[in-house]
Amino acid sequence: MKTVIITGASSGIGAATAILLNKNGYQVVLAARRLAKLQGVAKSLNAHHLLVETDVTKVADVKNLIEASIQKFGKVDILINNAGLGYIAPLKEGKLEDWHRMIDVNISGLLSCIHTALPHLLEQKGTIINIASVAAHEVFPNTVVYCATKHAVNAITIGIRKEFREQVKVCNISPGAVQTEFLDQSEENENVKQMKDYFFNNETLKGEDIAAVILEVLSKPAHVAINEVIIRPNV
Which residues are the active-site residues? Answer: 146
β pairing state of 228-231 and 169-175? parallel
Residues 194, 201: Cα–Cα separation, whole Å: 10
* Inter-residue contact 211 to 13 (CB < 8 Å): yes
Number of residues that this document lists for the chain: 235
Helices (H), the chain: 12-23, 35-42, 59-73, 96-103, 110-124, 144-163, 190-200, 207-218
Residues 66, 141: Cα–Cα separation, whole Å: 37
* Inter-residue contact 94 to 87 (CB < 8 Å): yes
Residues 145, 122: Cα–Cα separation, whole Å: 32
CB under 8 Å to 17, separation ≥6 — which residues?
6, 9, 80, 82, 207, 210, 211, 214
